[in-house]
C-alpha cells in the first residue's frame, strides 16, 4: 500500500467505515458541488454508448460510475478495473454483482502489470489530483502505455478555475485541509503532465462549473 495513500487518504478510502460512509450517491454529488452526474455522463458519452473491446478503469470510484460504465459494454466487451486497495475492490464488486464482463485487479496505477497497448479505452476518474507529482506522472505514462495506438484515454478531474470563479479560492482552502497534492495538480494541463505533443495525439478538453472540473480526452494517433 503506498505510504502517501495511508498517510493522506486513510480516512477516505482505506477504513471500512469510510467506505460505507462515502458510498452514497447524494454525498459524492455534494462533494463535487452537484456536478457528479454531469461529469459521469460526459465521460461515459466520450467512451461511447456501445463500448467494444477492452476498457480499463484506473482506480475505483464511489457512486454509480462503474455500474453505468459496465452497462454500456457490448456483448463480448470487457471492463478491467484496478485499485491498490482491497477494500475498494470489494466495494466495487458489491456494486457490479456477478457481471462476467467486469474484472477486478489489485494493482498500483503507477506500475501496472498489463501489456503495452492492451486496451482500446482507458478512463481515469478523479485520481490524479490525489497523487504526489512523481506518482501522477507515472500513472499518466502507464495509462498511455497500456492504451493501444488509435485508442482513447479519458481523464476527469479538477482544473484551475477561472479567476472570477469564487470556487478557485474556496477549493484552495479545502485542498490545504484535505487534499495535499491537489493544488500542485492545478499548475499544468493534463497534456503537459503527460508530456504529449498535440501533433502526436488528438487532445480535447472540456471544462465544467466555471473551470473547476475538466474532462480531457486523448486519442492516440495510430501512426
Q: Where are the domains of the chain?
A: 3-220
pLDDT value for 108: 98
- Counting Cα atoms < 13 Å in the Cβ hemisphere of 67 gives 12
CA distance 222 to 200: 9
pLDDT digits 0-9 by tens, 29-84:
999 999 999 999 999 999 999 999 999 999 999 999 999 999 999 999 999 999 99
CA distance 35 to 181: 21
Asked if 129 contacts 157 with a C-beta cutoff of 8 angstroms, the reply is: yes
Q: Which residues of 193-211 are buried (b: 16+ CB within 10 A; e: fewer)?
A: bbebeeeebebeeeebbeb
pLDDT digits 0-9 by tens, 196-214:
776 667 899 999 999 999 9
- Grid coordinates belonging to 69: 460504465
Cβ atoms within 10 Å of 14's Cβ, excluding its own: 17
Asked if 13 contacts 2 with a C-beta cutoff of 8 angstroms, the reply is: no
Using alpha carbons only, give the angle 153, 159, 160 rounded to the nearest 5 degrees: 150
CA distance 161 to 140: 22
Sheet with strand 119-125: strands edge to edge: 102-106, 78-83, 54-58, 119-125, 147-158, 213-220, 201-208
CA distance 52 to 181: 34
- Report residue 87: phi and psi, to 5°: -65, -30
pLDDT value for 223: 57
Q: Which CATH architecture has domain 3-220?
A: 3-Layer(aba) Sandwich (3.40)
CA distance 184 to 38: 25
pTM, full prediction = 0.96
pLDDT digits 0-9 by tens, 99-117:
999 999 999 999 999 999 9
pLDDT digits 0-9 by tens, 144-168:
999 999 999 999 999 999 999 999 9
Amino acid at each position: 500500500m503506498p505510504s502517501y495513500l495511508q498517510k493522506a487518504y486513510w480516512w477516505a478510502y482505506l477504513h471500512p467505515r469510510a467506505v460505507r460512509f462515502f458510498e452514497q450517491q447524494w454525498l459524492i454529488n455534494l462533494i463535487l458541488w452537484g456536478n457528479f452526474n454531469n461529469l459521469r455522463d460526459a465521460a461515459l458519452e466520450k467512451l461511447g454508448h456501445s463500448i467494444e473491446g477492452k476498457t480499463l478503469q484506473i482506480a475505483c470510484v464511489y457512486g454509480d460510475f462503474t455500474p453505468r460504465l459496465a452497462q454500456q459494454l457490448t456483448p463480448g466487451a470487457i471492463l478491467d478495473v484496478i485499485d491498490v486497495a482491497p477494500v475498494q475492490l470489494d466495494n466495487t464488486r458489491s456494486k457490479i454483482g456477478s457481471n462476467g464482463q467486469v474484472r477486478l485487479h489489485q494493482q498500483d496505477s503507477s506500475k501496472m502489470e498489463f501489456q503495452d497497448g492492451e486496451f482500446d479505452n482507458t478512463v481515469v476518474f478523479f485520481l490524479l489530483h490525489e497523487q504526489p507529482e512523481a506518482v501522477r506522472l507515472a500513472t499518466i505514462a502507464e495509462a498511455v502505455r497500456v492504451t493501444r495506438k488509435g485508442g482513447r484515454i479519458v481523464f476527469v478531474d479538477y482544473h484551475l478555475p477561472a479567476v472570477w470563479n469564487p470556487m478557485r479560492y474556496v477549493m484552495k482552502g479545502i485542498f490545504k485541509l484535505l487534499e495535499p497534492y491537489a493544488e500542485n495538480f492545478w499548475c499544468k494541463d493534463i497534456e503537459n503532465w503527460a508530456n504529449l505533443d498535440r501533433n502526436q495525439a488528438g487532445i480535447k478538453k472540456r471544462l465544467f462549473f466555471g473551470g473547476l472540473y475538466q474532462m480531457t480526452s486523448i486519442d492516440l494517433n495510430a501512426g
